[in-house]
């Protein structure tokens, strides 16, 4: 029996109403900041509602990506050639097959695009469907605004609100958007399951949109895999990434997660993950204030690109372990 068979309950994930961040009532705002602090510290994941992104923008992004994945392979050829062999290509389309849960082979199709600054990358995005650039451009820009708002709140939750250079670097930093398509398990060999193996995300924060169940979270308190609860329509999940664990000097922990599409699922599952960080080459280090507060620096300095190289070259499920400083 593998760990996946032990899943029997849903993870308790906090739901945070972001409209209160804009409240004129300072007490209401401080309560939201506290909720974010507790979520980042205890579970590394939270849901956000009333985030300001319209359902229309969300549905258009999902629709145009469904249309892309439904295209014949010949129409994806330019994307395949453009991203071939280069893991840091600004646009890449690939099918991933990875081992997990012993002998399970997990498969998904991924379209990955760089999205900030959008003017630099937009012409490299897929030309088909014809409205892909328009609709995904709108979506990525709206999610970018949400990411800026969340990062500002997270910095306040760490008492780093005065470190404006961090927010400036985040605002002009990296946004990498990966759309994952998990076709129905019945369409291929029963020995191939649809999913993504256990991993943490490399950046500062990830903003995730998903269409159906399948996301599972490793509960750090009891070490058990638990299913993520069903989301309210139009809501997002926010993940603490490895580089936020570094920046917070370990106060916040990146969350281990995976996707296993249930074998009973007949529909195609999709997710759009927006990864946010500083520029790929910018060095992230534990915040000086937090190091001084604890009297110890827990992590080595690292850039997003260096962290991704650890993922690509050594296959770490949790590459941040390589950055921990021995005490």
Calpha distance 282→170 (Å, rounded): 10
Question: What does the pLDDT average to over 280-296?
Answer: 96
pLDDT at position 75: 85
Output the six-digit token pair for 186: 């019945």
Non-local (6+) Cβ contacts of 272 within 8 A are 61, 62, 65, 139, 177, 178, 179, 180, 208, 209, 210
- pLDDT computed for residue 5 by the predictor: 45
Q: How far apart are alpha carbons 48 and 73 in whole angstroms?
A: 36
pLDDT of residue 315: 59
pTM: 0.93
Q: What's the rounded mean pLDDT across residues 7-19? A: 85
pLDDT at 88 exceeding the cut of 80: yes
Q: For residue 25, give both structure tokens.
A: 């009532």
Cα 144 from Cα 147, distance rounded (Å): 5
Cβ–Cβ < 8 Å for 208, 168: no
Measured CA to CA in angstroms, residue 14 lies from 44, 46, 230, 293 at distances of 10, 5, 12, 27
The region of weakest confidence among 6-15, 56-65, 133-142 is 6-15
Q: Is pLDDT at 187 greater than 60 in this prediction?
A: no
Q: What is the pLDDT of residues 157-176, one digit of tens each?
A: 999 988 899 999 999 999 99
pLDDT at 1 over 60: no
Largest CA distance in the chain: 58
Number of domains in the chain: 1
Residue 92 has pLDDT above 50, yes or no: yes
The predicted-structure confidence for 22-51, as pLDDT tens digits, reads as follows 887 889 999 999 999 999 999 999 999 999
pLDDT, position 313: 73
Q: What is the mean pLDDT of the chain?
A: 90
When mean pLDDT is compared over 195-199, 260-264, 277-281, the highest value belongs to 277-281
Residue 189 pLDDT greater than 80, yes or no: no
Is the pLDDT at 153 greater than 70, yes or no? yes
- Reply yes or no on whether the pLDDT at 6 is more than 60: no
CATH number, domain with residue 285: 2.60.120.330
Residue 13, domain extent? 3-323
pLDDT tens for 247-273 read 999 999 999 999 988 877 778 899 999
Q: Quote the pLDDT of residue 190.
A: 65
pLDDT tier, 104 (very low <50, low <70, confident <90, very high otherwise): confident
Residue 226 tokens, joined = 């638990």
d(CA 107, CA 93): 14
What local confidence, expressed as pLDDT, does residue 316 receive?
60
Q: Does residue 312 register a pLDDT over 90?
A: no
Beta strands (DSSP E) in the chain are 15-17, 45-49, 91-100, 104-114, 174-182, 192-199, 205-210, 215-218, 225-227, 236-240, 257-260, 269-277, 283-284, 302-303
């Amino acid at each position: 029996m593998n760990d996946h068979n032990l899943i029997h309950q849903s993870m308790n994930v906090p739901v945070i109403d972001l409209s209160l961040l804009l409240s004129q009532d300072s007490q209401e705002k401080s309560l939201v900041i506290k909720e974010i602090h507790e979520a980042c510290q205890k579970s590394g994941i939270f849901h956000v509602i009333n985030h300001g992104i319209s359902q229309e923008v969300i549905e258009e992004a999902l629709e145009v990506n469904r249309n892309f994945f439904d295209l014949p392979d010949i129409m994806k050829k330019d994307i395949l050639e453009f991203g071939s062999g280069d893991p840091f290509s600004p646009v890449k389309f690939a099918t991933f097959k990875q081992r997990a849960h012993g002998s399970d082979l997990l498969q998904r199709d991924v379209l990955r695009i760089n999205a900030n600054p959008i003017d630099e990358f937009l012409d490299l995005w897929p030309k088909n469907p014809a409205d892909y650039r328009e609709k995904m451009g709108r979506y990525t820009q709206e999610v970018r605004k949400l990411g800026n708002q969340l990062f500002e709140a997270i910095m306040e939750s760490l008492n780093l609100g005065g470190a404006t250079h961090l927010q400036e670097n985040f605002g002009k930093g990296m946004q990498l958007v990966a759309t994952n398509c998990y076709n129905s398990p019945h369409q291929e060999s029963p020995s191939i399951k649809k999913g993504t193996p256990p991993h943490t995300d490399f950046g500062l924060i990830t903003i995730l949109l998903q269409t159906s169940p399948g996301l599972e979270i490793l509960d750090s308190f009891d070490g058990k895999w638990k299913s993520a609860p069903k989301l309210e329509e139009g809501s997002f999940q926010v993940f603490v990434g490895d580089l936020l664990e570094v920046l917070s000097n370990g106060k916040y922990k990146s969350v281990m997660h995976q996707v296993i599409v249930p074998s009973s699922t007949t529909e195609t599952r999709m997710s759009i993950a927006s990864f946010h960080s500083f520029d790929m080459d910018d060095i992230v280090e534990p915040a000086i204030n937090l190091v001084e507060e604890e009297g110890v620096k827990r992590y080595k300095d690292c850039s997003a690109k260096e962290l991704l190289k650890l993922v690509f070259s050594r296959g770490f499920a949790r590459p941040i372990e390589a950055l921990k400083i021995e005490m």
